[in-house]
Chains A and B, each alone.
Chain A
Amino acid sequence: MSVDEEMLRPPQNKINPENTPYPSKFINLADGTKMVVRQINRDEVKQVIPLFYDIVKLTDFQYYDIVGARILGELLAYINYRVHDEYVILGQDGNTGEVLGLVNSRLTVNPKVGISLHTMTFKRGLRVGAHLFVAKMENHFLLGNEEVYIVAESPIGFRRWMEELRLEPRPEVEHELGGVPSYCLTKENWEGYVVPERLFGERPVPEELLGNCNSNILLPEDVVFQITRKTKEEWFNA
């Protein structure tokens, strides 16, 4: 029996059937960079994927290997239509198009509950991850989720999300990332604390910045150096 590839694809997105993308915005970073935050499509995801071929090899460095490997898997699943209602948001330098960070999420465990997948920063020390994480949460709530399940794979992630965003523990929920006990961002916390205190960015993004980013997904020259402060050569020869 021949299997039609289409059969293997997930059903239509439940709460975003039109696949309306996250509304792009830009954020001022400490170094003056205007970071454009925008959702990227499958073709653009393909351009970002090679970044992770190096990152998955960063063993014993703040869990970059496991987080990198999982993101790589999720992005491959996304471009091959093997994951349900995933979205990928990129942070890019508005002047150069350089990729600064990436976040991804899934909209529906059920229509009311979203599930946060991963956050990774390629240029550190500028709070890129903090801004992008909140942007992906914004998309969940814009599209009608009432809460989002979140776990962390690194202690840095735990401090950033669980502590700084004051998430509620939901130990009875086994998160789909390995079944570990989940935390939850509720709509009440989102509206009462995160939106006024931690959600930033301006819309619309000036055409010029958006144009730079759309036309040029520039990967960091040496992402290993940006993450570890050792060049790719030094790191892999050590």
Chain B
Amino acid sequence: MRDVAIIGVGMGRRWGRYEGSLIEMMAEASLDAIEDADTDQIDALFVANMGAGRINNQTALGSALIDYLNLFPAVGASIENGPASGGTAARIGYMAIASGIHDCVMVTGGEKMRVAPGPVVTDFIATMSHPQAEYIYGITFPALGAMLARIYFNKYGVTSEDLARIAIKNHTNGLKNPHAHIQQKITMEGILTSREAKINNPIIADPLHLYDMCPVTDGAASIIMCSMEKAQEISEKPLIRLAGTGQGMDTMAVHEREDPTFLKAVTHASDQAFSMAELKRENIDFAEVHNAFEILELAELESAGFFERGKAHLAVRNGETEIFGRFPVNPSGGLKARGHPVGATGVAQLCELVWQLRGEAGERQIPNNPKHAYAVNFGGFGNNVVVTILSRV
């Protein structure tokens, strides 16, 4: 297999509400990646998206984006894998290049979610749950996050204050990220300890509050990958190698998992990616994790093997996961602050990894020239997870 490099990344304008069409939004991100890579010689495009057929009345987005941007003769397809669509599309792009089928692949993820009212979006996300065993009962993803949090609280002594600390950290990072949807300072007093926090930060799915959850966001992100050989020829930026990729699965119904706090798919995907990259957990300088709910930031870090089970919140208390901490997590602000347009998230995580590894992350730059970075893109409620490790060559 050939080595693969990421030579271009882009996210278009600041995420939030996008007034144009889904294709226009994805085109902006794609053109940013083309500009960053300084090439539009793309053989294939994989578009990551979860719900355009349902919420934007459009399908076959790969064809549509190639047509709109005149990427011909590039070929393409849409990849749907729930919220892990982005990571999955990047993984498929990697396979296409590593195998020698294509030389240069663009992966663009996008989701335009703010067209629909909140309950409709929540229900659309909930269609990933088990149709007979979960969905019919009104299970929503916030509800699954809350049930996971309750076990964590009970078993490991995690508190609402710990989750608020993670949210505050992610909002602080988001303030330094020009792409982030949410650029707002929050304080412990304002969201948790004052009396009025009850209104500022209401409980949505007990014990989770509004600020424990990601917002509903429109956004797109794009990366361009090519063989390392070609990258060495054409790229003038620091070379970023896709060093490891892994994917793991678990049962669809959460209640079928032996220990619901243990995200087996994250462990499996991480083990594969680490073994492929020939790296250890301690080699990783920072991580982007899929914190659709702040409790997942803890659970994923533990299941990925960066912290012992039930201990990640202690690291958060010590400030270890802040940008200047021992092991920065979600320097972009993560899903909490950057936003979570489901199909785009996995691609946006890789954009952040690349910017940080190149030293181009501006105010949120992690110090000391990070070399190895990890991203976990969490699909379903943890039944389909993609992990990517990038390394600066």
Q: At the interface, yes or no: B200 with Cβ under 8 Å from chain A?
A: yes
- A31 touching B185, Cβ below 8 Å: yes
With A229-B16, A229-B17 already in contact, the answer to whether A31 and B184 are too (CB < 8 A) is yes
CB distance from B376 to the nearest CB of A (A): 28
Q: Which residues from chain A contact B16 at a C-beta distance below 8 Å?
A: 229
B residues less than 8 Å from A30 (CB atoms) = 184, 186-187, 190-191, 197, 200-201, 211
Chain B contacts for A198, CB-based, 8 A: 198-199
- Distance in Å from the Cβ of B28 to the closest Cβ of chain A? 16
CB-based contact A131/B185 at 8 Å: no
Looking at the assembled complex, report how far the CB atom of A206 sits from the nearest CB atom of chain B, in whole angstroms: 15
Let me know if A130 and B199 touch, CB within 8 A.
yes
- Annotate B195-234 by CB proximity to A: 1 below 8 A, 0 otherwise: 1111111000000000100000000000000000000000
Assess whether A32 is interfacial by the CB under 8 Å rule. yes
Counting chain A residues whose Cβ lies within 8 A of the other chain, the interface size class is 10 to 19
Chain B residues positioned under 8 Å from A28 (CB to CB): 189-190, 194, 196-197, 200
Q: From A35, which residue of chain B is reached at the shortest CB distance?
A: B196
B197 and A32: CB pair below 8 A? no
In the docked arrangement, what's the CA distance between A126 and B171, Å? 14
Residues of B within 8 A of A200 (CB): 194-196, 198-199
A111: Cβ under 8 A from any B Cβ = no
B residues within 8 A CB of A126? Answer: 184, 200
> Chain B nearest CB: distance from A37 CB in Å?
11
Q: Could you tell me the distance between the alpha carbons of A229 and B183 in the complex, rounded to whole angstroms?
A: 12
**Bound state CA distance, A125 and B184, in angstroms?**
9
Cβ contact within 8 Å between A32 and B200: no
User: Min CB distance, A237 to chain B, in Å?
Assistant: 15
A29 & B17 in contact (Cβ 8 Å cutoff) = no
In-complex Cβ contact of A32 among B189, B195, B198 (8 A)? B189
State the CA gap A126–B201 with chains docked (Å): 9
Q: Which residues of B contact A (CB under 8 A)?
A: 16-17, 184-187, 189-191, 194-201, 211
16 new A-B contacts, CB < 8 A, other than A30-B200, A31-B186, A32-B186, are A27-B196, A28-B196, A28-B197, A28-B200, A29-B190, A30-B186, A30-B187, A30-B197, A31-B185, A125-B184, A126-B184, A130-B199, A198-B198, A200-B195, A200-B196, A201-B196
Provide a sorted-by-A list of 18 A–B residue pairs whose CB atoms are within 8 angstroms.
A28-B189, A28-B196, A28-B200, A29-B200, A30-B186, A30-B187, A31-B185, A31-B186, A31-B190, A32-B186, A32-B187, A127-B200, A198-B198, A200-B194, A200-B195, A200-B199, A201-B196, A229-B16
